């Protein structure tokens, strides 16, 4: 894709699923990739996969709920490869699917901390680096969900993913004149470990929901990754503040 080759990308939640697929796609398109997650073994495996394919990558263990740790991640990126050109803020958890009154405050706090405050922490550090780097701007994608545009999931998860869309829009509005584009990707039911856990809980209900939708199947992480990297590319140069739905028609 135009404009990715030679760039520097940060991917959080890169130990598997959409994050790993996006890290691999960024590297395939010629970017140097810093892969981050709390799962040290997982990000090491992602880096190994990139390097085995001839790409350049490094792993940094980061808890996105820790603002200092996120700042250190971005600082290490700058020291190793230079100012980040792209970022995918993908780290997230699904939380519990219980009804609102059956959720606990701990359920709420943990889900919001990872999914929403984690994105806030990443945006603050990434935007500062892009502005201070004096380059030609940059492109950031935040992972929301169809739950960021509907009531699909438990209340903490839905609230957190709606919050990601809101953060995406305000960041796009505030930093557009500095050449920084900020978008969100809103995946539907994607074949990841998160969905595998949901299948255990929901059983045939999840399969029935998937089959009833227009494309009648789960998405692959690589399909979301392609959308993420497109949003970061010059091919999407006039796209910002947009929550791009990648859901096989789930919300249609």
pLDDT in tens, 177-224: 999 999 999 999 998 777 666 555 656 676 777 787 889 898 999 999
| Paired tokens of 167 | 């953060």
pLDDT in tens, 220-231: 999 999 999 999
Interval 69-89 mean pLDDT: 98
The DSSP annotation for 51-95 comes to HHTT--EEEEE--TT-HHHHHHHHHHHHHHT-S-SEEEE------
CB count in 10 Å sphere of residue 76: 16
Amino acid 200: pLDDT: 59
Catalytic positions, written as ranges: 157
pLDDT in tens, 92-128: 999 988 999 999 999 999 999 999 999 999 999 999 9
Amino acid 199: pLDDT: 57
Rg (CA), the chain: 17
Amino acid 100: pLDDT: 97
pLDDT interval class at 48 (50, 70, 90) = very high
Query: What is the CATH code for 8-189+222-242?
Result: 3.40.50.720
Amino acid 76: pLDDT: 98
Cβ distance 50 to 76 under 8 Å?
Answer: no
Q: What is the average pLDDT score of the chain?
A: 94
Amino acid 110: pLDDT: 98
What are the sequence ranges of the domains in the chain? 8-189+222-242
pLDDT interval class at 81 (50, 70, 90) = very high
Nearest CA-CA partner of 206 in 250, 162, 244: 250
d(CA 168, CA 140): 9
* Pairing status of strand 32-37 against strand 57-61: parallel
């Amino acid at each position: 894709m135009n404009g990715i080759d030679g760039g520097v990308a940060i991917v959080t939640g890169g130990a598997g699923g959409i994050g790993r697929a996006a890290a691999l796609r960024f590297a395939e398109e010629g970017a140097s990739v810093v892969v981050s997650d709390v799962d040290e073994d997982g990000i090491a495996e992602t880096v190994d996969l990139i390097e085995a394919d001839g790409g350049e990558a490094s792993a940094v263990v980061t808890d996105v709920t820790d603002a200092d740790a996120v700042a250190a991640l971005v600082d290490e990126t700058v020291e190793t490869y230079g100012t980040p050109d792209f970022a995918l803020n993908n780290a997230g958890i699904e939380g519990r699917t219980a009804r609102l009154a059956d959720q606990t405050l701990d359920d709420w706090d943990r889900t919001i901390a990872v999914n929403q405050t984690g994105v806030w922490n990443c945006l603050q550090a990434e935007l500062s680096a892009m502005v201070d780097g004096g380059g030609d701007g940059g492109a950031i994608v935040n992972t929301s969900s169809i739950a960021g545009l509907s009531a699909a999931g438990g209340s903490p998860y839905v609230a957190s993913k709606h919050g990601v869309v809101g953060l995406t829009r305000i960041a796009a509005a505030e930093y557009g004149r500095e050449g920084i584009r900020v978008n969100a990707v809103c995946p539907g039911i994607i074949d990841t470990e998160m969905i595998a856990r949901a299948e255990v809980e929901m059983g045939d209900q999840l399969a029935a929901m998937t089959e009833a939708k227009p494309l009648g199947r789960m998405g692959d992480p690589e399909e979301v990754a392609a959308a993420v990297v497109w949003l970061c590319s010059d091919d999407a140069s006039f796209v910002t503040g947009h929550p791009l739905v990648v859901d096989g028609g789930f919300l249609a």
